C-alpha cells in the first residue's frame, strides 16, 4: 500500500510516517520503480504500535525501546512492566502538578470580581505580587484586588 493507505490503516498521518522514518523510529519503506513508498501489513502494525504508545504518553525514546522489546520475542516481560510502571509514576506526578495549577487558577478566579475595576488577583499573581489579606484591607477600609 502507498503512504496514504498506510496512514489511513494505521491512524498515523503521512507527515508523521515520514518523520518516524527520518528519525529512524521505523524502518524506511520499500520503494517502487517510480520511488513511491510501499508499506506492508507489518509496517502498518508497527505504525499502530507507535501511535498507541504515543497516545499513552510515551516519549519517542521510550517508544523506540518498546518497539525493540516488542521485536525481541525472547525478552522477559519484566522490563516492559517496569517501563509501564515508571510511566504511570510520571503521569501521576504530572496529574498532581496539573491539579495544583487548576486549584490555583480556580482560587484566583474566585477572588476576581470580573467587573469594570482594574484590580485583578489573577494578573497580580502572574506578576508575582502577593495577594493582600482581605480582612486587613477591609479593616483599613480598602479594596483588595477586586474582592
User: What ranges do the domains of the chain cover?
Assistant: 1-75
Task: Tell whether the model's pLDDT for residue 138 goes beyond 70.
Answer: no
pLDDT band at 137 (very low <50, low <70, confident <90, very high): very low
What per-residue confidence (pLDDT) applies to 119?
87
Range of lowest pLDDT (8-12, 80-84, 124-128): 124-128
Cβ-Cβ contacts under 8 Å for 133 (sequence gap 6 or more): 144
Q: What is the pLDDT of residue 117?
A: 87
How many secondary structure helices (H) and strands (E) does the chain include? 7, 2
Confidence at 83, pLDDT banded by 50, 70, 90: very high
User: What integer is the mean pLDDT of 66-79?
Assistant: 95
How far apart CA 94 and CA 98 sit, in angstroms, is 6
Tens of pLDDT, residue by residue over 20-67, are 999 999 999 999 899 899 999 999 999 999 999 999 999 999 999 999
List, for residues 85-133, the tens digit of each pLDDT value: 999 999 999 999 999 999 999 999 999 988 988 888 899 999 987 656 5
Q: In CATH, what number does 1-75 get?
A: 1.10.1660.10
Closest C-alpha to 28, from 48, 3, 50: 3
Sequence-distant (6+) residues with CB within 8 A of 85 are none
pLDDT the model gives residue 132: 61
Amino acid at each position: 500500500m502507498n503512504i496514504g493507505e498506510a496512514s489511513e490503516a494505521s491512524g498515523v498521518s503521512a507527515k508523521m510516517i515520514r518523520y518516524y522514518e527520518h528519525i529512524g523510529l521505523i524502518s524506511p519503506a520499500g520503494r517502487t520503480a517510480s520511488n513511491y513508498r510501499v508499506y506492508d501489513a507489518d509496517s502498518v502494525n508497527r505504525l499502530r504500535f507507535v501511535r498507541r504508545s504515543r497516545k499513552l504518553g510515551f516519549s519517542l525514546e521510550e517508544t523506540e525501546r518498546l518497539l525493540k522489546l516488542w521485536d525481541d520475542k525472547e525478552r522477559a516481560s519484566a522490563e516492559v512492566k517496569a517501563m509501564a510502571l515508571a510511566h504511570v509514576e510520571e503521569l501521576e506526578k504530572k496529574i498532581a502538578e496539573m491539579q495544583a495549577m487548576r486549584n490555583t487558577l480556580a482560587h484566583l478566579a474566585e477572588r476576581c470580581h470580573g467587573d469594570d475595576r482594574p484590580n485583578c488577583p489573577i494578573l497580580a499573581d502572574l506578576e508575582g505580587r502577593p495577594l493582600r489579606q482581605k480582612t486587613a484591607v477591609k479593616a483599613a477600609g480598602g479594596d483588595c484586588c477586586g474582592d
